[in-house]
Chains A and B, each alone.
Chain A
Amino acid sequence: MRPIFLFASFLLTLQIARPVEAAPVNVVTTTEDLAAIAKEVGGERVEVESLAKGVQDPHFIEAKPSFMLKLSRADLFVQVGLELEQAWVGPLLLGGRNGKIQSGAPGFVDASRGITALEVPAEPIDRSAGDVHLQGNPHIWLDPMNGKQIARNIAEGLKRVDPKGAAEYDRNLADFSTRIDAALSRWQERMKPFEGAKVITYHNSWPYFLKRFGLVAAGYIEPKPGIPSSTSHMREVIALIPREQVKVILMEPYFSDQAPKFLAEKTGAKVVPLPPSVSASAGINDYFDLFDLLTNRLAEALR
Chain B
Amino acid sequence: MMRSILFALSVLGAILGIVPSLFAQEGIAPPARSAQTFNPEISLDGLFSAATFSDPDHLQFGAHDPNKRGFTLQNLELTLAGNVDPYFRGEAHLIFGLEDGESFIEVEEAFLTTLSLPYGLQVMGGQFFTRFGRQNPLHPHVWDFADQNMINTLMFGGDGLRSPGVQLSALLPLPFYLELIGSAQNAEGETATSFLFAPEETFAGRPILERDVHDEGDLLYLGRIKTSLDLSESVTLVAGTSHLFGPNGTGENTSTRIHGVDLFVKWKPLTADHGWPFVTFQGEAMRRSYEAGEAALDDGTVLSEETFANDGFYIQSLYGFARRWVAGIRYEQADATDPVDPASGERWRASSNLTFYPSEFSKIRLQYNYDNSDDRDDPIHAVFIQYAFLIGAHGAHTF
Contacts and interface: CB of A to CB of B under 8 A. Distances in A.
Interface of A: 11, 14-15, 53, 55-57, 60, 62-66, 68-69, 72-73, 86-91, 94-100, 102-105, 127, 226-228, 253-256
Contacts of B274: 57, 60, 226
Contact of B86 (A14, A69, A104, A226): A104
B122 interface: yes
Contacts of B177: 65-66, 68-69
Contacts of A66: 176-177, 228-230, 236
Dominant secondary structure at the B interface? loop
Nearest to B362: A127
A97 B236 contact: no
Contacts of B179: 65
Contacts, number: 107
A94 B120 contact: no
A97 B270 contact: no
In the A-B complex, list the 6 residue pairs whose CB atoms are closest, starting with the nearest.
A99-B116, A65-B228, A65-B177, A91-B398, A97-B122, A254-B271
B272 interface: yes
Given A69-B177, A228-B323, A105 B116 contact: yes
A139 to B, nearest CB: 16
B228 A91 contact: no
B171 interface: yes
Nearest to A254: B271
Contacts of A86: 396
A99 B171 CA distance: 14
A103 B116 CA distance: 11
B271 A64 contact: no
Given A11-B119, A65-B228, A102-B115, A94 B89 contact: yes
B56 interface: no
Contact of A63 (B115, B273, B391, B397): B397
Contacts of B226: 65
A87 B396 contact: yes
5 contacts: A88-B396, A95-B171, A97-B114, A102-B86, A127-B361
B395 A97 contact: no
Given A53-B270, A91-B397, 19 more contacts: A11-B119, A56-B272, A63-B399, A64-B228, A65-B177, A65-B228, A66-B228, A87-B360, A91-B399, A97-B114, A97-B122, A99-B115, A102-B86, A102-B115, A102-B116, A103-B83, A104-B83, A104-B86, A105-B116
